[in-house]
Structure 1
Amino acid sequence: MTDDDLDDLIHAADLDGLVRMIDDRCSTGDWDGLLRVRDQARSAVKTGRQLWPAATMAEYRLALLAPPHHVAAVLDESDGLSGQFTIGPLTEVAAQHHTWDALRSELTPSPRAAFVAHERVIRGDVIDDDIADVLDIPLGLEGWEPTYPIATYRDNDADFPAPRLPTNWKEIETSSEAERLNDDVELAVQQLVEPWLSGSNGTVEVVCVEGDVGDAIGALGPRRARVCELNARTAMAWIAWAGASGGAHGRRRGAATGRFGAWWILAAIGDFLDNWPVNPDALGQFANELNWYRWDAFEPTIGWTLQLAVEDGSEGVAWAVSARDST
């Protein structure tokens, strides 16, 4: 299909025909032609032709499949339009098949380029370049960090797996009598799952108390509860998964944002936020000194859930988090 055909499809606002053209140009590796589809479909929206699905599909395929030069073209932030409606952030999509070494010379230094770098870190790259300080966390995974769950993008859909969690439940006693404390963790958790709240149907409750895990969970209301112990790596992976996710209907933010959210919450628990960026070794040591749990009140798990409890035995303080979203 030629560019004359493209003009006809744009004029007729033929979405089905444009989808066939996108598939055809992907199969033949006509990336310049695919970029023209994206550009013309986007321009047509300004004239009232609702062709944004074609523009979105074209730029998504370019970020996922095209050579680095074309990836850089769709990551260009100058117009503020690219990636608005894709199923995941283009920075994460591009990072799936393109290493940082392949992209670095093509990307203009920018916040979006920095996010690509952080996405590649989660996939194992160690980056020594001087990039924009958008997250202020290391450009390499620390030894105490987990293997974070990552998205798998395909031509027309994607998987966003959650980490595997233990199921060796133990019932505990709860109490609602413990003194509640004010700290920065509640706001940090709200920021972590913000897409669940603003873009979907989610809810979140967070409490900090003097006491243990039973006191913290009891402060949220359950009279009966059960817990599974987690190690720090699993807890961090779970928090990061929640921070990357858009929940049922919200906008996915990507694994790099999820990793940052896990660091930020851990720093809030340890009262390190005033010293951000934190010392990675100190933060990792602190993470491993805490007692981590998943918990529930014997209810079924439905939809997107982060029900986490944390004990700091040395300080006699505990936190409980209940964040949920469902279709």
Structure 2
Amino acid sequence: MVGLLPRFRRYRLVLLGLFLLLPLALLLGAGLGAYPIPPLTIPEILLRGEGVEYQVLTALRFPRVLGAALVGALLALAGAVLQGLFRNPLVDPGLIGVSSGAALGAALFIVLIPGAGALETYALPLSAFLGGLAATLFLWQIARTPWGVQVSVLLLAGIALNALVGAGIGLLTFLATEQELRSLTFWTLGGFSALTWPLLLVGLPLALLALALLLPLARPLNALALGEREAFHLGVHLEDLKRRSVVGSALGVGVAVALAGGVGFLGLVAPHLFRLLAGPDHRYLLPGSALLGAILAVSADLLARTLAAPAEVPVGVVTALLGGPFFLYLVLRYKREVYRA
């Protein structure tokens, strides 16, 4: 029992550090950019309530950094839950079809409904969200059997669906005009520049529902780590756990992709970083991954806005450049562990 105390203390210290680091990241994200505002002066500007800096903060920066934090938290939490559900540390939220389905929904809207104008602000995210949910429901039906949902079938069907959706998006890209192709490219690369208060308020209820479904799954996922049979004997309702995990992840990732487009690797990187910092206990891993995902998303957005200012690098490019090498490191580490076993 005494040996467990340092481990619990480490979990709490890491969580406290992330909890304190997130406001700092939000403050830097709100202050820095093409129009720099000293972060320490932000409280004074808000109290003054007027001026160009006040308008920049309230109308542009705050919805952007808060939306980035929400997207990062949703992707990271979904990644942590799905890695626990599949008992595979290399699982990414995109494997359950949400990201690819959302991308296809957005591509269909951009190419088949040209010149949508003001309608595009809300209809494009809605099309992406519905496409992600439709893809997840399709995979769920494929994986259902009389004995319950087969997780391995869900994973394999997700890989096949991603390939089919990639072909569909390729066909739409071939049919798109130059302007449609430009819109589609920017959307698939991902970014937070289009986030506004109304768009955030539309997505917030579904995001909160996803958090409410996923965060209470920590103890069942800890039991599932021992195996399905052992988890069943410990009182875990396996079908309910699978259903809540997939539905909550689909909601969370669907909202994230609808708000920000194709921002990849956050759902893979954030849970692994928390495991390296603290450990694998889902009671701490789930909230810790959400906090870390929010910090990483805000930091990636800050890099995207400052690396080539006043131009912006797509956030999806930044996360891919950082997440790709990390994923290769995880694969090599997994290979060494299997070889030692």
TM-score by length of 1: 0.23
Give the structure with the higher percent helix.
2
Q: Please state which structure has a larger fraction of its residues in strand.
A: 1
Of structures 1 and 2, the one with the larger relative CO (CA 8 A, separation 6+) is 2
TM, length-normalised to structure 2: 0.22
